[in-house]
């Protein structure tokens, strides 16, 4: 009996120990994705931030400083899909914002779906859906785990960000219609807008933001790491003589299309999105019971502002300072309506951004702008010279060429030989560093190199025949402003922060890939990983019992 009692005690002790190490899931999981947020932006502007936004997340949560995208291209749709699916385009199938479809012989947009319609704007004839996303994501897995009892909502200014984070089973994905200023959705999710969204749209807040003037939030001397306000590396909006503060949104709006494009290229579209997120927390039952819900907030203003003015501009610095205040507002609302100990939050970015190539050139740094029109025309001319005049190339998209496979077969040519031929030609072009054929990417296994990132972005069925990587500092068709989409660190290094219930305090310098975010969230929620997960949990973030 003593032995039985002893071993029973050991068993209960072991069970108690295991239970103590398994965190109880939060009532609400909040995912925040900031569009075009390079890792250094978090610390570059750190002294300028308030104590209640980014600093609160960093000081009270876990900041992961060495997270990389393990694929290319680093662009919006691919980033949001990869973060939430826990895997790369090779498996989830979102290989760009758009790509060439061999079956329809057309370029397709990542979330366009002709079988659906837009709910909230009858003038848009074609709807959207997540059907091109070939895997589940964490939003789907939460719905599956709770037998659809969890509520999942995704918000963004961009349709692709909202849809690809919402996944296939969400209660709704909502984004800003730039023609009306209202948030809309798709018939994939519902046939009419929920009452809480109708109430929000009826406030016409987008129009109210257009009454604002965008000026610097702080005195100009508070922005020490920026170029002069008036410089030659920034795009000039219609209605402006120079790219300088202030920006009178009311005056500029009629001169730029669509109607809310000026709002889109200002920090106030983030403010509007935060308004909507807070409205949901206040007017719905999300996070109010013991079943975990999920709210995804994709702040997009940083991307169009970054594209227009670049990462060294006063405009992007000010946009981040204002985003910091919006995050502080969202955190305050979470504390009030959900409870400080009842939610977990993660924040990351869909990609980074590079410097303006001309700025680098002017400062004696190697860089350049690749003329895609010349590259395409040169490729066509070269293949015609080698193989005879015909339309060998049917599409050129996302730094890759698509061949007419039927034409190549009809002419009794070996597809891999034609691929090798164009790959060799492209290497002779200025600005192109490396080329890879579909045959190489299918047959070889690359590790620890830029080729490995390219391979993880290559989908056997959807990608093209020849892919190239540009040299560091190079982008396609670049004049003013800035962009992204390469495999280099400035585009692939982003911050990751976990905060709230179940999360430890600290900083991690361990290497992780962006595909580690989804399995980390899944572990926090005690649900299974998304179906094609290739990442692993970031163990440093978990609070010890």
Cβ pair 146, 291 in contact under 8 A: yes
Backbone torsions φ then ψ of 379, nearest 5 degrees? -65, -45
Of 76, 87, 513, 520, catalytic: 76
Q: Which of 395, 440, 397, 532 is nearest to 90 (CA)?
A: 532
User: Using CA atoms, how far apart are residues 382 and 425, in angstroms rounded to an integer?
Assistant: 8
- In this structure, are residues 358 and 337 in contact, taking their beta carbons and an 8 Å threshold? no
SS3 category, 68: strand
4 CB-side CA count, 13 A: 1
Burial of 100 (0-12, 13-18, 19+ CB in 10 A): buried
The phi and psi torsions of 297 (rounded to 5 degrees) equal -120, 110
**Whole-angstrom Cα distance, residue 176 to residue 155?**
9
- Give the β-pairing of 98-101 and 112-113: unpaired
CA gap 53, 70 in Å, rounded: 28
- Dist CA 272 CA 241 (whole Å): 28
Count of positions (residues) in the chain: 545
Label each residue of 363-432 as H, E or C: CCCCCEEECHHHHHHHHHHHHHHHHCCCCCEEEEECCEEEECHHHHHHCCCCHHHHHHHHHHHHCCCCCE
Q: How many CB atoms lie within 10 A of CB 363?
A: 9
Burial state string for 214-250 with b = 16 or more CB within 10 A and e = fewer than 16: bebbeeeeebeebbebebebbeebeeeeebeeebbbe
How open is the CA angle 490-351-59, to the nearest 5 degrees?
Answer: 90
Residues 483, 352: Cα–Cα separation, whole Å: 9
Q: What are phi and psi of 103, to 5 degrees?
A: -70, -50
Residue 476 dihedral angles phi and psi, to the nearest 5° = -85, 135
Q: What are phi and psi of 456, to 5 degrees?
A: -70, -15
76 classed as catalytic: yes
The residue behind tokens 């951004």 is 353
Residues classed as catalytic:
76
């Amino acid at each position: 009996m003593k032995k039985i009692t002893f071993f029973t005690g050991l068993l209960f002790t072991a069970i108690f120990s295991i239970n103590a190490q398994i965190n109880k899931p939060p009532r609400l999981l909040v995912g925040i994705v900031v569009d075009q947020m390079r890792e250094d932006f978090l610390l570059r502007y750190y002294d300028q931030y308030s104590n209640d936004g980014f600093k609160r997340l960093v000081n009270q949560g876990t900041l992961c400083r060495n997270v990389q995208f393990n694929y290319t291209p680093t662009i919006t749709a691919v980033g949001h899909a990869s973060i939430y699916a826990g895997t790369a385009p090779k498996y989830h199938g979102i290989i760009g914002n758009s790509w060439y479809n061999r079956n329809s012989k057309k370029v397709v947009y990542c979330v366009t779906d002709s079988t659906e319609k837009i709910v909230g704007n009858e003038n848009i004839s074609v709807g959207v859906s997540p059907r091109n996303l070939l895997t589940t994501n964490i939003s789907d897995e939460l719905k599956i785990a709770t037998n659809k009892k969890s509520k999942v909502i995704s918000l963004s200014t961009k349709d692709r960000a909202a849809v690809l984070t919402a996944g296939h089973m969400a209660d709704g994905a909502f984004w800003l219609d730039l023609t009306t200023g209202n948030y809309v959705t798709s018939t994939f999710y519902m046939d009419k807008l929920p009452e809480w969204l109708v109430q929000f749209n009826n406030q016409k807040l987008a129009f109210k933001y257009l009454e604002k003037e965008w000026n610097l939030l702080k005195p100009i001397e508070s922005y020490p790491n920026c170029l002069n306000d008036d410089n030659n590396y920034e795009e000039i909006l219609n209605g402006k003589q120079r790219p300088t503060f202030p920006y009178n949104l009311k005056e500029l709006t009629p001169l730029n299309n669509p109607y809310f494009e000026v709002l889109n290229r200002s920090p106030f579209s983030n403010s509007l999105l935060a308004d909507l997120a807070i409205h949901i927390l206040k007017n719905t039952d999300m996070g109010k019971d013991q079943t975990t819900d999920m709210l995804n907030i994709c702040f997009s203003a940083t991307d169009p502002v970054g594209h227009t003015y670049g990462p060294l501009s006063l405009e992007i610095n000010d946009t981040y300072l204002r985003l910091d205040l919006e995050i502080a507002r969202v955190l305050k609302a979470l504390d009030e309506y959900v409870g400080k100990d009842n939610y977990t939050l993660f924040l990351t970015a869909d990609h980074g951004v590079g410097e303006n190539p001309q700025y680098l050139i002017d400062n004696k740094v190697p860089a350049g702008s690749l003329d895609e029109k010349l590259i395409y025309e040169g490729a066509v001319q070269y293949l015609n010279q080698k193989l005879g005049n015909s339309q060998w190339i049917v599409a050129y998209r996302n730094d890759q060429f698509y061949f007419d496979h039927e034409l190549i077969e009809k002419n009794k040519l070996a597809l891999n030989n034609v691929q090798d031929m164009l790959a060799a030609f492209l290497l002779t072009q200025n600005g192109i560093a490396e080329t890879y054929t579909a045959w190489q990417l299918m047959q070889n296994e690359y590790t620890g190199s830029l080729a490995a990132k390219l391979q993880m972005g290559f989908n056997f069925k959807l990608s093209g025949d020849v892919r190239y990587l540009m040299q560091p500092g190079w982008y396609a068709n670049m004049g003013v402003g800035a962009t992204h989409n390469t495999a280099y660190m400035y585009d692939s290094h982003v911050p990751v922060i976990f905060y709230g219930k179940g999360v430890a305090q600290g900083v991690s310098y361990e290497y992780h890939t962006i595909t580690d975010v989804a399995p980390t969230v899944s572990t926090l929620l005690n649900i299974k990983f998304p179906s094609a997960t290739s990442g692993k949990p970031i163990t440093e973030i978990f609070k010890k019992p």
